[in-house]
Amino acid sequence: MSVTPTPAGNPILTAPIVTTILRLSTPNMMAMVATAAVAIAETAYVGLLGTAALAGMALVFPMVMLQQMMSAGAMGGGVSSAVSRALGAGDVVRARSLAYHTVLIALAGGLGMSALFLAIGPALYRLLGGRGAALEQALVYSNVIFAGILAVWLCNLLASVVRGMGNMAVPSSTLLAVAAIQIVVGGGLGLGLGPLPRLGMVGVGLGQVIAYGLGALWLLRYLRSGKGRFVLPLSGLPVRFDHAADILRVGTVAMLASFQSVLTVLILTRLVATFGEEALAGYGIGSRLEFLLIPVTFAIGVSLVPMVGMAIGSGNAPRARRAAWTGGAMAFAITGTVGFAAWLVPEAWARLFTSDPAVIAAARSYLVWAGPGFGFYGLGLCLYFAAQGAGRVFGPVMAGTARLAVIAIGGWWLAATGQPAWTMFALVGFAMVVYGLVTMAVIWTTRWGR
């Protein structure tokens, strides 16, 4: 069995904060870029299967992303937070028990989501507008994905255990391999490349299940090998509801943030659609730049979870706060710079995707009005991850609720009173500012520590 270093000898607790954030976030950045590449590749080869397949994937994609956000970002944050706080306190026995309960939570979450979406899939995709061949393709894809969604939950939560140890290289390299396998297997089975059968959307779904299943097995092997800070036990430990609760009290509240993010996008898309096809297309182009900033913020934010968690566990709350504010400032600087550039030359981005003057004008309007809010969105999201590390995530989740309320109530009023499209885009930017400032306020006023 490996021996855990004492908190005083742990570089995450002693090394300079900026260099530690950069060291931990770089592998995460690579993994997030790979994940984005998977989405692009899947869209490309599903497009070769036909319009119905492409429309079917569009119906299922928000639900698949929700699973990733719930398992990797929400419950995964709860796992990393609990494990890192235990290790920061030098309590290896508790950390091992928390990892054991992580496996139980992954089994419950994965199997529960399988049962739920296999049952409600047809009604859900009809509610989202699925009809005819598109609905048929959506159900084929969804049933394969959700029959094996346990693989996604296991892979993401085991990766979160390793991140809680302060090791970002192993989970990031694993997710890079998962992305490569998913592209090759999903494309090969979907299109019938080489000797492989052409399975269509069944093959595309199998690509994800197989890739994440292999990733989960690899992470399980690592955690059982003794190369980490402790060995993951798979039996012989009692079920401790207080240990499970340490993970769930952060993870379940954070899952609300995942639902809010998806709901915000769905509401905003529906509201913008009332302004016409050109406005919707322009919004899609402009928001694509916004979405590209999420991997950057996620990479920095995930690195803050063990930094803050270990500092809290060791009783060093001031270092935890310095790490949070430093990471938030870095995220604000990066995303704010991109937002300023988009405000300055918005048409440069829009012309990469279209030559339609009306769509370019709509995209330009979105970036001019929403771009200045990008930095505040990056700041709020990064501080949300830091709050996960501290085990104090309720306030940042409520900041997300405030953003959702601004979009829903303000957007409804703008649409109902016939305001021009630019007012909706200005509302998006304002909501980002609200999210960032409210998150800052709750972090500032919430006590961290024992």
User: One digit per residue, pLDDT tens: the chain, 450 residues?
Assistant: 333 444 446 788 888 999 999 998 888 888 877 877 787 788 778 878 887 888 888 788 878 888 988 998 889 989 998 999 999 888 999 999 999 999 999 999 999 999 999 999 899 888 877 788 888 988 999 999 999 999 999 999 999 999 999 898 999 999 999 999 999 999 999 999 888 899 999 999 999 999 999 999 999 999 999 898 999 998 888 889 989 998 998 888 888 888 888 788 778 877 887 787 778 777 777 776 777 777 788 889 989 989 999 899 888 999 999 999 999 999 999 999 999 998 998 888 888 777 788 888 888 998 999 999 999 999 999 999 999 988 888 999 999 999 999 999 999 999 888 888 899 999 999 999 999 999 999 999 998 866
User: pLDDT (tens digit, 9 = 90+) per residue, 64-78?
Assistant: 888 988 998 889 989
From CA 275, how far away is CA 292, in angstroms rounded?
A: 25
Chain centroid, CA 329 distance in Å: 20
What is the token pair recorded at 115? 């049962």
Closest CA to 376 of 425, 420, 331, 415: 331
